[in-house]
Amino acid sequence: MQPTILVTGANGQLGSVLIPALRGRYGSERVIASDIRSVPNYRGRFELIDATDADRLTQVVREQNVTQIYHLAAILSASGEQQPIRTWNINMSAFLNVLEVSRQEGIDKVFYPSSIAVFGEGAELDHTPNDSVLDPLTSYGISKAAGENWAQYYFAKYGLDVRSIRYPGVIGHQSDPGGGTTDYAVEIFHAAVQGKPFSCFLQADERLPMIFMDDAIRATLELMEAPKENIRIRTSYNLAGASFSPEEVTAAIRQYYPDFDVSYVPDYRQEIAAKWPNSIDDSAARGDWGWQPEYDLKKMAKTMIEALQKRYNRETPLLGNNQFAA
């Protein structure tokens, strides 16, 4: 039987692209987008939901006969540091509501996006293993690490089929990121294609794990469709695409725009990035559910630039503008 899917935080960077992918796969009528803010003239099923409101969540799950929840709503790393306690409260209460409503209402599967932000100073910086120590130093990272443990708890205690990926920075042309430490890696492409200089808020050599949007979406669908017995990790899976630094992505962009002007003015986000891995070991995801990335930096840069060239020429509006969702 086809699932009926509810996506929270649907207007965010990932949700804006995941929703059409889910609709393409399962049928438009089976996928309900939800967000804390409505979108004028939204095409498709949409419900206004603040995921910190358990009663509203329960109401929609019951009324719409929801069978799966993708819970994308969260405050990200950089925004989160402006209001750390609020970030913890919102991120945790929303996810605990999703878990508890899912348990009570008999939801079949839950998707929970975690992040490389769960790692801190104690983890290996290169090829960080899946089972590294988690000692995050942002409110967002602390909430994601706690959420991973709650995911495992609900699986172990109640058999709730919660599945999770630790996303690296997601690079896409379809939607805007908002509030993340890895956002520079999308913004830099927009600047290059518009012929503008770019001021980078990270150091030139600050290498971070990244993934192209198409790979991130495919990974999400593959994880959610994998046989249950293959999902051996019930906290969260490391996921790797291509790791690069600002100077490396600049060099890739200068293959197309040799005069692209980039300067470096590191701010508080540099301190966040410095504690995160340079690269990620995703062998568990590869072994358990067959994960294989398709985009390296070169292919990512080519695809981004070609898509943004079309976008700016045609003035196609960007999808999504929600700072409070993955």
Q: Residue 280, interface with ligand AKB (CB under 6 A)?
A: no
Q: Residue 169, interface with ligand AKB (CB under 6 A)?
A: yes
Q: Residue 188, interface with ligand AKB (CB under 6 A)?
A: no
Q: Residue 117, interface with ligand AKB (CB under 6 A)?
A: yes
Place of tokens 């058999």: 159
Query: In this structure, is the dihedral angle defined by the CA atoms of residues 207, 172, 315 and 36, taken in order, positive or negative?
Result: negative
Q: Residue 77, interface with ligand AKB (CB under 6 A)?
A: yes
Burial grade of 62 (CB within 10 A; 0-12, 13-18, 19 or more): exposed
Q: Residue 90, interface with ligand AKB (CB under 6 A)?
A: no
Binds ligand AKB by CB under 6 A, chosen from 95, 119, 155, 167: 167
What are the helix and strand counts (H, E) for the chain?
Answer: 11, 12
CB of 136 to ligand AKB, least distance (A): 11
Q: Residue 115, interface with ligand AKB (CB under 6 A)?
A: yes
Q: Residue 16, interface with ligand AKB (CB under 6 A)?
A: no
**Element (DSSP H or E) covering residue 151:** helix 139-158
Binding window for ligand AKB (CB under 6 A); candidates: 26-34, 109-117, 122-130, 240-248: 109-117
Q: Residue 278, interface with ligand AKB (CB under 6 A)?
A: no
Q: Residue 132, interface with ligand AKB (CB under 6 A)?
A: no
Separation CA 70–CA 44 (nearest Å) = 17
Which residue, 115 or 322, is less far from ligand AKB as judged by CB? 115
Distance (Å) of CA 200 to CA 181, 185, 262: 11, 9, 7
Among 70, 112, 140, 295, the one annotated catalytic: 140
Binds ligand AKB by CB under 6 A, chosen from 57, 76, 94, 165: 76
Q: Residue 180, interface with ligand AKB (CB under 6 A)?
A: yes
Task: Determine contact, residues 56/50, Cβ cutoff 8 Å.
Answer: yes
Binding window for ligand AKB (CB under 6 A); candidates: 65-73, 179-187, 189-197, 214-222: 179-187
Task: Determine contact, residues 238/281, Cβ cutoff 8 Å.
Answer: yes
The edge-to-edge listing of strands for the beta sheet with 68-71 is 46-48, 31-35, 5-8, 68-71, 109-115, 161-167, 237-238
CB of 140 to ligand AKB, least distance (A): 6
In 10 A of CB 81, how many CB atoms? 20
- Cα–Cα nearest to 220, from 17, 47, 45: 17
- Is 140 assigned a catalytic role? yes
- The catalytic residue positions are 140
Interface residues with ligand AKB (CB under 6 A)? 76-77, 115-117, 140, 167, 169, 180-182
